Amino acid sequence: MKKFLIVGLGNPGAEYENTRHNIGFLILDAFAKASNVVFEPGRYALVAEAKIKGRSFRLIKPTTFMNLSGNAVRYWMQEENIPIENVLVVLDDLALPYGSIRIRGKGSDAGHNGLKDIQAKLDCADYPRLRFGIGDNFSKGRQVDYVLGEWTAEEQKDLPALIDHCVKACQSFGLAGLSLTMNQFNKK
């Protein structure tokens, strides 16, 4: 059975639960719910496994805080023997307008501390990622407050449909491959 590791980036704890920085956790929660699986405590992460059409999707939500996400990614890649091309990291992105997504096969960390740590621990930037646009609607010097802030009422209206769209993209990554998934989901 072909295996995939889907990594949702976020911070553990109730105070971060509905923040923009935790969109990776929200997307993986929706993936697990749609697949009728639940997260359980594992090493460095909350872990669930979904099986879809002969594929195994290991879902992880690192419990190490965003800036140390690389430990969980490296551990679960090794534990499950999953090659780097079958890893998809799901994260927030300030540079993209709210609700847009960009899927790429590799890239820079673009200043994102979660990606910086993953790249340092893997010694590589060539892994797929799904960036969810959170926009940049904040005053100068208020970036941290914005990223760690909760969704506005306006954003929350569209959030369930956007999360569902991202879940479909994560599933497509494992079922159809990176190239077809990029072609289909990078349009918006």
User: 162-165 long-range contacts, Cβ below 8 Å, gap at least 24?
Assistant: 162/99, 162/132, 163/23, 163/26, 163/27, 163/30, 164/30, 165/101
Active-site residue among 20, 21, 58, 129?
A: 21
The interaxial angle of helices 113-122 and 69-80, nearest 10 deg, is 40
Quote the tokens at residue 48. 């669930």
Strands of the 101-104 sheet, one edge to the other: 40-42, 45-52, 55-62, 2-8, 87-93, 129-133, 101-104
Question: Does residue 21 carry a catalytic annotation?
Answer: yes
- 93: exposed, middle or buried (C-beta count within 10 Å: 0-12, 13-18, 19+)? buried
Q: Which residue numbers are catalytic?
A: 21
